[in-house]
Structure 1
Amino acid sequence: MRKRYFCKNCGSETSYRRSYCKYCDPTKPKDYRNTTIAEIRARSRYQANAWIRKLARRVYNESGGLQYCSNCGYSKHFEVCHIQPIEAFPEETTMSIVNSLDNLIALCPNCHWELDHGALSL
């Protein structure tokens, strides 16, 4: 039988060998909206942009945005894209600005590539 692990704070079952569940983990800020790009990069040096994109997907999906490409209408797969790239923002910009709904759009992989390489303008 597999050993079970529980959160030290709330007692809920956690994944393999974790001391805290994802909601009680003291190393993670509770509200990312006021976290700056610099703070995320300092916390997760090698995967900072992945964290920012993950937060963008969460914001977009919670808003009930389009679930298909807003450019061509492809509906089998879409990616949540930043209209203004993450690198275009100063380091002290908060996630609420970087991942605002005005800066997020759903695109299929082909249209996303075209946007990133200047072949598509919105």
Structure 2
Amino acid sequence: MNNCLHCGAQTSNPKYCSRSHAAIHTNQQAPKRHLTRKCAECDTLIPGDRQFCAVHGKRKADYRLLTVAQLKAKDAIKHPSYYRGYLNSITRLLNAHRPRVCQACGYDKHVEYCHKQPIKAFPASTTVQKVSGPENILVLCPNCHWEYDHGLLTESPALLGR
């Protein structure tokens, strides 16, 4: 019989009595590195998973006030093809308070945000709040979304009131 290197208990294993004791002992001997970096705006050291310090992170532009042109600009996003995904994430944030139930049929397993007026119909100077805000968004299941986009489902008072 051998003694566990972590707790000293007798074990038939050559070093440890359990996997958790092996992990604990190994992590104490060789702890993980906690990387730090400098804030993108100043020289303050911050955790490696962040880009801005507490002061500069709060000064970032409010995404609701961005215009469609600013959102499409290469400075706002990494690549032009990311535009739709970024706009979809903002749409989810702006409509997070709404119930996730289809406004047409009541389905609640999976819903999508459908723009009443298409995004391309807005001028480039329009704010994201107007394009993807609650007044231009319907919460629909995938089937009702397709029907709405193809003119089979109309925007009726019943659809809006549900």
Bin for the TM-score computed over the shorter chain? 0.7 to 0.9
Q: Determine the structure 2 residue equivalent to 1:53.
A: 88
Deviation of 1:87 after TM superposition, in Å, equals 0.9
**Aligned-partner Cα distance in 2 for 1:85–1:29:** 28
Q: Give the Cα separation in 2 of the matches to 1:56 and 1:22.
A: 26
Distance 1:72 1:50 in 2: 26
Contact 2:68 2:127 in 1 (8 A): yes
Structure 2 unaligned segments of length 5 or more: list them.
Answer: 1-30, 156-162
What percentage of residue pairs aligned between the two structures are identical? 34
Moved more, 48-57 or 3-12: 3-12
- CA apart distance, 1:100: 2.0
TM-score by length of 2: 0.60
Question: CA–CA distance in 2 between the matches of 1:87 and 1:22?
Answer: 36
Paired position in structure 1 for 2:71: 40
Q: How far 1:25 sits from its partner (Å)?
A: 6.0
| Greater displacement, 112-121 / 28-37 | 28-37
Cα contact 1:13–1:21 (8 A) shared by 2: no
Question: 2:27 maps to what in 1?
Answer: none
Backbone CA RMSD of aligned residues: 2.8
Of 34, 41, 66, the match for 1:4 = 34
Does structure 1 conserve the Cα–Cα contact (< 8 Å) formed by 2:46 and 2:53? no
Equivalent AA in structure 1 for residue 102 of structure 2: C
Higher relative contact order (CA 8 A, sep 6+): 1
Aligned to 1:31: 62
What residue ranges of structure 1 are gaps of 5+ in the alignment?
Answer: none
In the alignment, the residues of structure 2 paired with residue 7 and residue 109 of structure 1 have an alpha-carbon distance, to the nearest angstrom, of 43
> Structure 1 residues 20, 108: closer, same or farther in 2, change over 3 A?
same
Taking structure 1 as the reference length, the TM-score comes to 0.77
- Report the Cα offset of residue 96 of structure 1: 1.6
